[in-house]
């Protein structure tokens, strides 16, 4: 499936007293990468919502392997794990400039109708966009 790499610079407020990225920020990094992934596909979250579909976080998994530090550039690889159905799974790897693997994770998002707030299959236009690699 499709893969994108998004670069993120670690900001001071994302670190603890030792200058190490606080564990809670990795979920934000996943979201930043996923949002950019969607834009590169050719649709923003806003556009999806305007078209009547919300993608809501259902699960988050993360594994910490090594610390990231203040002012480092992190390379977040985001990969669509499988063809979207009602749920969409994204996988992540975060590396530093040395290529060291710092973190891995995944998120599962559920496709929800904007009006009824009930789960629905991902729209066919979205699935086709992913399959065809439209940007």
Helix runs in 42-119, H state only: 45-50
Average pLDDT over residues 5-12: 98
Q: What is the pLDDT of residues 70-102, one digit of tens each?
A: 999 999 999 999 889 999 999 999 999 999 999
**Per-residue b/e over 82-93, b at no fewer than 16 CB within 10 Å?**
eebeebbbbbbb
Count how many residues are written for the chain: 135
Q: What is the pLDDT of residues 104-129, one digit of tens each?
A: 999 999 999 999 999 999 999 988 88
Is the pLDDT assigned to residue 135 strictly greater than 50?
Answer: no
Q: What is the pLDDT of residues 31-50, one digit of tens each?
A: 999 999 999 988 888 999 99
Give the dihedral of Cα atoms 86, 56, 67, 78; nearest 10 deg: 50
* From 7, 16, 71, 113, the catalytic residue: 16
Closest to 2 measured CA to CA, from 89, 62, 87: 89
Task: State the pLDDT at residue 134.
Answer: 53
The model's pTM is 0.91
Q: Tell me the domains of the chain and their CATH numbers.
A: 3-132 (3.10.129.10)
Mean pLDDT in the chain? 94
Give the dihedral of Cα atoms 47, 51, 57, 59; nearest 10 deg: -120
User: In this prediction, what percent of the chain has a pLDDT beyond 70?
Assistant: 98
Q: Is 16 a catalytic residue?
A: yes
CA 55, 74, 2 angle in degrees (round to 5)? 45
């Amino acid at each position: 499936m499709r893969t994108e790499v998004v670069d993120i610079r670690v900001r001071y407020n994302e670190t603890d007293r030792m200058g190490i990225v606080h564990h809670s920020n990795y979920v934000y990094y996943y979201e930043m990468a996923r949002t950019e992934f969607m834009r590169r596909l050719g649709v923003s979250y806003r556009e999806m919502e305007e078209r009547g579909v919300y993608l809501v976080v259902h699960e988050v998994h993360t594994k910490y392997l090594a610390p990231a530090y203040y002012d480092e550039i992190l390379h977040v690889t985001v990969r669509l794990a499988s063809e979207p159905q009602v749920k969409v799974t994204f996988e992540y790897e975060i590396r530093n400039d040395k290529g060291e693997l710092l973190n891995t994770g995944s998120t599962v998002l559920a496709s929800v109708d904007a009006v009824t707030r009930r789960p629905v299959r991902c729209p066919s236009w979205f699935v086709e966009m992913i399959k065809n690699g439209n940007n």
